[in-house]
Structure 1
Amino acid sequence: MKKILTAALAVTIALMAQPILAHGLTQPRHGGIVSMSGETLFELVMKPKTLELYVIDDDDPVVASGMTAKLTVNIGGKLQNIMLKPASGNRFDGPAIKAPAGTKIAVLVIDKKSQAHLGTTFTIK
């Protein structure tokens, strides 16, 4: 009986821990770098010819078409604003940027309907 209770307790603990492990995963899903701000995950993917930004809020992908997105790139104190275009799903697209180590990239995403602001900052290593 003790073994059954121990096994039942182990299964219960494992099931209770599962939502905690699943919530707020910070691993890149698209090969980029990840930053969390509260319950919002941002993934920045820099490619040779384009830049992609993926946004997940409270474990749900945001609908990019209902949002605006802007990056402010700070390279050695020189600022550049880049507007991103909504793409499919939760992805925003923009032009490629050259970002040496130490570059800071601020992200601002605004819901067109509610005007809710989501944002974070990346530092390129």
Structure 2
Amino acid sequence: MSRNLWEHDHPYYCAKGNYFASPDKGMHTKYDSWTAFHADWGDNDPDLNLVVRWDWERPDPADYKPYGEAVPPDTLAVYWVLQRKAILRSTECVVTEADEPAVREWLARRAQTIADVWSPFLAAAEGATA
């Protein structure tokens, strides 16, 4: 069985929003739940709205409990290139462990789109390691 999505630590990090747009331009949108996020972004065209990265962010309770603070919920950050308009943007939604199967299924469909973009190189890399 593969690891849970919150167990993946991607190299480096990605800034939320868009470096070239002021915060009031709406380049980072937050949602209170996976359901709310999916209502806005779930069925959009994956070619026009290319997911280039995702991070399931799980806060470390040790950073909050010594101060008597509540541990924030897990969030899913998704980083997009809206290709037709060359827009970089991000979204973030609260997620729970119960959301993982739906999140995993959605991300798998998005991964196929980016794999298709890189397929000439992926096929060459697979041949080189075989």
TM-score by length of 1: 0.31
Of structures 1 and 2, the larger Rg is shown by 1
Higher helix share: 2
Question: Which structure ranks higher in relative contact order (CA pairs < 8 Å, sequence separation ≥ 6)?
Answer: 2
TM-score by length of 2: 0.30
Structure with the larger strand share: 1
